[in-house]
Amino acid sequence: MLKQRVITALILLAVIIGVLALGGTTAWGVLMLPVMALAIHEWTRLLGRQASPALPISLAVAIAYGAWRSDATPAPEWLVPVLGIGVLAWIFVAFRSVFRVRPSCSSPWLAAFSMLLLWVSLFELRNLGAGVLISAMAIVWLADIGAYFSGRAFGRRKLAPRVSPGKTWEGVAGGAVLCIGTALVVARAGAGAAEGSLPLFSTVVAQHLGLIGMAIVLMLLVLLSVMGDLYESLLKRHAGVKDSGTCLPGHGGMFDRIDALVPTMPLCLLIWLLMVH
């Protein structure tokens, strides 16, 4: 199992790095299309639903959006309210589901809309620069790494034992500390960097909102990433399965790998657009 996980992770990493290094926003958007489609399919199956027009319609909208946004112009202004509505809708359904310990919405359209917003967010973050995209996604990765190690070392108080028994409040705190601490170090280092250096999400937030504002934003993103993981865990528990799918050997399904990105990346893009525009 470990060998499979490592091989799969290395292949995925090589593909992502290759596309980011050699391709532009369009190539990245094309790469993310099957990711979105697989995740919608897996999410819909966890809800007990099979075929739905939500999947092909979402793909068609994403392809049309990518073709329309093929240049490097700023994101359209109407994207701000759409992102806000999408994030709030996901928060309402996910938090209500986790607190009630059962899914509060079984519509495949929520899965399609949420994943479409994730695709759009990843597309637009890449349009802002590879550094912005990677640094935004790194918030989730650092939060997960910090939560894993601090949870194993200090975890005592269960976060949501009826949903995911392994998660603890100490793990959440450790993830937040690692994420915010790393961002503070990077922001301090970036303060002395030359103008025109590679922009990063956390450093730009710090420039607009200050270090305290940056810490608050990152804390909110960490909490949403944890809730994204909890929500998917709830769906899997309700469906009686261990993984959302089998498309990634050693890792499970695509939804398993991007569940924390679903709420966090649209919020990252929303925050960026509100700051910069």
What pLDDT is stored for residue 22 in this prediction? 87
Residue 190: pLDDT band by 50, 70, 90 thresholds? low
Give percent of the chain above pLDDT 90.
Answer: 74
What pLDDT is stored for residue 25 in this prediction? 92
Q: Is residue 104 part of a domain?
A: yes
Extract long-range pairs of 254-257: CB within 8 Å, 24+ residues apart: 254/35, 254/38, 254/39, 254/42, 255/38, 255/39, 255/42, 255/43, 255/46, 256/232
Per the CB < 8 A criterion, the answer to whether 274 and 206 are in contact is no
pLDDT tens by residue, 46-81: 998 876 899 999 999 999 999 998 767 888 999 999
Per the CB < 8 A criterion, the answer to whether 210 and 217 are in contact is no
Mean pLDDT of 35-43: 94
- Other CB atoms within a 10 A radius of the CB of residue 126 amount to 24
Question: DSSP secondary-structure letter at 161?
Answer: T
Residue 21: pLDDT band by 50, 70, 90 thresholds? confident
Residue bearing the bigger pLDDT, 144 or 2: 144
Give percent of the chain above pLDDT 70.
Answer: 95
pLDDT tens by residue, 245-259: 888 887 789 999 999
Name the residue with tokens 């979402």. Answer: 58
What's the pTM?
Answer: 0.94
pLDDT of 196 strictly over 60: no
What pLDDT is stored for residue 114 in this prediction? 96
Q: Is residue 152 part of a domain?
A: yes
What pLDDT is stored for residue 221 in this prediction? 97
Q: Is residue 73 part of a domain?
A: no
Segments forming the whole domain that contains residue 167: 1-68+78-276
pLDDT of 194 strictly over 50: no
What pLDDT is stored for residue 191 in this prediction? 58
Structural domain count, the chain: 1
Rounded Cα gap, residues 49 and 157, in angstroms: 35
What pLDDT is stored for residue 6 in this prediction? 72
pLDDT of 167 strictly over 90: yes
Q: Lowest-pLDDT range, 2-11, 209-218, 236-245? A: 2-11
Please enumerate in sequence order all residues whose Cβ is within 8 A of that of 131, keeping only pairs 6 or more positions apart, or say none. 198, 199, 200
Can you give the three-state secondary structure of 79-112, one letter per residue? HHHHHHHHHHHHHHHHHHHHHHCCCCCCCHHHHH
pLDDT of 105 strictly over 60: yes
